[in-house]
Structure 1
Amino acid sequence: MLSFLLSALLLTSSPAATKVDTDWRTPFEKGNGNTTTTYAECIDYYKRLDKAYPEILLREAGPTDSGFPLHEVIVSLDKTFDPVKTRSKNRRVILIQNGIHPGEPEGIDAAMMLARDYVQKPELRQQLQGVTLVIIPIYNIGGSLNQNSTTRANQNGPEVYGFRGNARNLDLNRDYVKQDSRNARSFAELFARWQPDVFVDTHTSDGADYQYVMTLIATQQSKLHPALTRYLNGNLLPQLYQGMTQRQHPLTPYVDFEGRTPDARGLVGFLESPRYSSGYTALFNTIGFITETHMLKAYTPRVRAQYDFLDLLIRAVQHDKEALGKARADANRQLATQTTFPLAWKLDTTSVEKITFLGYEGRLKPSEVSGEPRLYYDRTAPYSRQINYYNTFRPTVMVERPAAYLIPQAWEEVLDRLRRAGTQLRRLTRDTTLTVEVRYIQDYKTSPKPYEGHYLHSQVELRREEQPLTFHRGDYVVWLNQPAARYLMETLEPQATDSFFAWGFFDSILQQKEYFSDYVYEDVAADLLRRDPSLRERLEKLKKQNPAFAASGAAQLDWVYRQSPNYEKSHQRYPVVRWTGGKLPEAETLK
Structure 2
Amino acid sequence: MLVAMLLAAALLPADPAKPDWRTPFERGDGNTTATYAECIQFYQRLDAAYPEITMREAGSTDSGQPLHEVVVSLDGDADPASVRQKNRRVVFIQNGIHPGEPEGIDASMMLVRDYVQKKDLRAQLSNVTLVVVPVYNVDGMLNRNSTTRVNQNGPRDYGFRGNARNYDLNRDYIKQNSRNARSFAQLFQRWRPEVFVETHTSNGADYQYTMTLIATQKDKLHPALSQYLQQRLLPALYQGMEKRKWPMVPYVDFEGQTPESGLVGFLETPRYSTGYAALFNTIGFMPETHMLKAFKPRVESTYALLDEFIRFVHRDADALGAARAEADRQLLTQTAFPLTWKLDKSAADEVQFRGYEGRTRPSEVSGLPRLYYDRKAPFTRPVKYYNTYRPALTVERPAAYLIPQAWEEVIERLRLNGVRLQRLSQDVTLSVESQYIDDFQTSPRPYEGHYLHSQVKLRTAPQQRAFHRGDYVVTLDQPAVRYLVETLEPQSPDSFFAWGFFDSVLQQKEHFSDYVFEDLAADVLRQSPDLRQQLEAKQKSDPAFAKDATAQLEWVFRHSPYHEPTYRRYPVARWNGGTLPIE
TM-score tier by shorter-chain length is over 0.9
The correspondence for 1:177, drawn from 174, 177, 195, is: 174
Match of 2:95? Answer: 98
CA deviation string 1:451-494 (max 9, x = no partner): 10111111111111110011111001001010000000000000
Hey, what's the Cα distance between the residues in 2 that align with 1:295 and 1:536?
Answer: 66
Structure 2 residue runs without a partner (length 5+)? 1-14
CA deviation string 1:218-274 (max 9, x = no partner): 00000001111111111111111011111111000000112121x221000000000
2:582 corresponds to 1:589? yes
2:376 corresponds to 1:387? no
2:28 corresponds to 1:41? no
1:535 Cα offset (Å): 2.1
> Secondary structure at 2:75's aligned position in 1?
coil
1:34 Cα offset (Å): 0.2
Paired letter, 2:460? R
Match of 2:351? Answer: 355
2:311 corresponds to 1:315? yes
The correspondence for 1:298, drawn from 266, 278, 294, is: 294
Hey, what's the Cα distance between the residues in 2 that align with 1:82 and 1:172?
Answer: 27
Match of 1:200? Answer: 197
The correspondence for 1:415, drawn from 411, 420, 440, is: 411
Hey, what's the Cα distance between the residues in 2 that align with 1:338 and 1:471?
Answer: 28
Paired letter, 1:589? I
Match of 2:207? Answer: 210
> Which consecutive segments of 4 or more residues in structure 1 shift more than 4 A?
none
1:532 Cα offset (Å): 2.4
Match of 2:500? Answer: 504
1:78 Cα offset (Å): 0.8
1:538 Cα offset (Å): 1.7
> Secondary structure at 1:86's aligned position in 2?
helix
> Secondary structure at 2:361's aligned position in 1?
strand
> Secondary structure at 1:589's aligned position in 2?
coil
Hey, what's the Cα distance between the residues in 2 that align with 1:488 and 1:293?
Answer: 33
Match of 1:325? Answer: 321
CA deviation string 1:288-340 (max 9, x = no partner): 00000000101100000000000011000000000000000000000111110
CA deviation string 1:112-157 (max 9, x = no partner): 0000000000110000011000000000011101111111111000
1:570 Cα offset (Å): 0.6
Hey, what's the Cα distance between the residues in 2 that align with 1:275 and 1:308?
Answer: 28
Hey, what's the Cα distance between the residues in 1 that align with 2:453 and 2:574?
Answer: 21
Match of 2:3? Answer: none
Match of 2:72? Answer: 75
2:461 corresponds to 1:459? no
Hey, what's the Cα distance between the residues in 2 that align with 1:400 and 1:76?
Answer: 41
Paired letter, 1:283? L
The correspondence for 2:58, drawn from 61, 82, 85, is: 61
Paired letter, 1:383? F
The correspondence for 1:545, drawn from 536, 541, 548, is: 541
- TM-score, length of structure 2 as denominator length: 0.97
Paired letter, 1:105? P
Match of 1:335? Answer: 331
The correspondence for 2:372, drawn from 361, 369, 376, is: 376
Match of 2:283? Answer: 287
> Secondary structure at 2:352's aligned position in 1?
strand
The correspondence for 1:191, drawn from 185, 188, 196, is: 188
Match of 2:274? Answer: 278
CA deviation string 1:407-461 (max 9, x = no partner): 0000010010100110111001111111101111111111111110111111111
> Secondary structure at 1:346's aligned position in 2?
strand
Hey, what's the Cα distance between the residues in 1 that align with 2:409 and 2:469?
Answer: 19
> Secondary structure at 2:333's aligned position in 1?
coil
- TM-score, length of structure 1 as denominator length: 0.95
Hey, what's the Cα distance between the residues in 2 that align with 1:456 and 1:225?
Answer: 27
1:531 Cα offset (Å): 2.6
Structure 1 residue runs without a partner (length 5+)? 1-17
2:234 corresponds to 1:237? yes
1:530 Cα offset (Å): 2.4
Identity of aligned residues (%): 68
Match of 1:577? Answer: 573
Match of 2:4? Answer: none
Hey, what's the Cα distance between the residues in 2 that align with 1:517 and 1:20?
Answer: 87
CA RMSD after TM alignment: 1.0
Map 1:5-20 to 2 at 5 A. none
Hey, what's the Cα distance between the residues in 2 that align with 1:507 and 1:130?
Answer: 47
The correspondence for 1:89, drawn from 74, 86, 89, is: 86
2:433 corresponds to 1:437? yes
Match of 1:4? Answer: none
1:403 Cα offset (Å): 0.5
Hey, what's the Cα distance between the residues in 2 that align with 1:112 and 1:401?
Answer: 44
Paired positions, count? 569
The correspondence for 1:397, drawn from 381, 388, 393, is: 393
CA deviation string 1:42-83 (max 9, x = no partner): 000000000000100110000100110000000000111111
1:168 Cα offset (Å): 0.5
Paired letter, 1:567? H
Hey, what's the Cα distance between the residues in 1 that align with 2:218 and 2:524?
Answer: 57
> Secondary structure at 1:35's aligned position in 2?
coil
Paired letter, 2:557? Y
The correspondence for 2:528, drawn from 512, 526, 532, is: 532
Match of 1:31? Answer: 28
2:464 corresponds to 1:468? yes
Hey, what's the Cα distance between the residues in 1 that align with 2:533 and 2:433?
Answer: 30
Match of 2:253? Answer: 256
The correspondence for 2:129, drawn from 128, 132, 136, is: 132
Match of 1:12? Answer: none
Match of 2:145? Answer: 148
How has the CA–CA distance of structure 1 residues 269 and 460 changed in structure 2, closer, same or farther, with 3 Å as cutoff? same
Match of 1:14? Answer: none
Match of 1:491? Answer: 487
> Secondary structure at 1:45's aligned position in 2?
helix
1:19 Cα offset (Å): 7.3
Q: Which moved more, 1:399-408 or 1:515-524?
A: 515-524
CA deviation string 1:480-517 (max 9, x = no partner): 01000000000000011100000000000100011111
1:20 Cα offset (Å): 5.2
> Secondary structure at 2:451's aligned position in 1?
coil
> Secondary structure at 1:80's aligned position in 2?
coil
